[in-house]
Amino acid sequence: MSEVVLRPVTAADRDWVRALMREHWGDEIVVVNGHVHRPHELPGFIAEDGDEKVGLITYNIDGDACEVVSLNALRSGMGIGTMLIDAVREAAIAAGCRRLWLITTNDNVDALRFYQRRGFVLAALRPGEIARSRLLKPKLPEIGLYGIPIRDELELEQILTDA
């Protein structure tokens, strides 16, 4: 196995990003707090192991906040997700952002563990928000990971410092 390296998403990657989103997220769009994101149109980073793409992160900067829109580590246990989060954190700091944040759903206990172990803290709970999201993205399943009904959005954040 060669070394995993990161590079920015380019226009040539857009079709791959769309396909990955359809395969792993059930659609090309991500709905967060009533807002539709199209990850294939966003900046991001791709993790590659040789010629194989093994991870993707997309993000959106709005003012002094950077939102992680999607994260996929296609191989577990290799530190790919951490590398991708670190790359976005660095991009956010370079852009003058003071806050890095993201949304996950109440069923995604693995993501809650992952993000909290990387310094994110719970910032908000939006009970029942997924019902509103389903109006924009009807393909959202009713039942998620571990058989847990998907109902709520959980917001996690990190306050950024350049030190």
Residue ranges per structural domain of the chain: 4-159
CATH number given to 4-159: 3.40.630.30
Split at pLDDT 50, 70, 90, the class of 132 is: very high
Q: Is the pLDDT of residue 162 over 90?
A: no
Q: At residue 23, what is the residue type? A: E
Does residue 55 contact residue 28 with C-beta atoms inside 8 Å?
Answer: no
For the full predicted model, state whether its pTM sits above 0.85. yes
Angle of CA points 13, 5, 38, to nearest 5°: 30
Instruction: Give which of 62, 60, 66, 70 is closest to 17, Cα–Cα.
Output: 70
Bridge partners, residue 53, by sequence: 48
pLDDT of residue 2: 67
At 77-122, the pLDDT tens digits run 889 999 999 999 999 999 999 999 999 999 999 999 999 999 999 9
Q: What is the pLDDT of residues 15-64, one digit of tens each?
A: 999 999 999 998 999 999 889 999 999 999 999 999 999 999 999 999 99
Beta carbons of 144 and 108 less than 8 angstroms apart: yes
Nearest to 99, CA basis, from 70, 126, 72, 62: 62
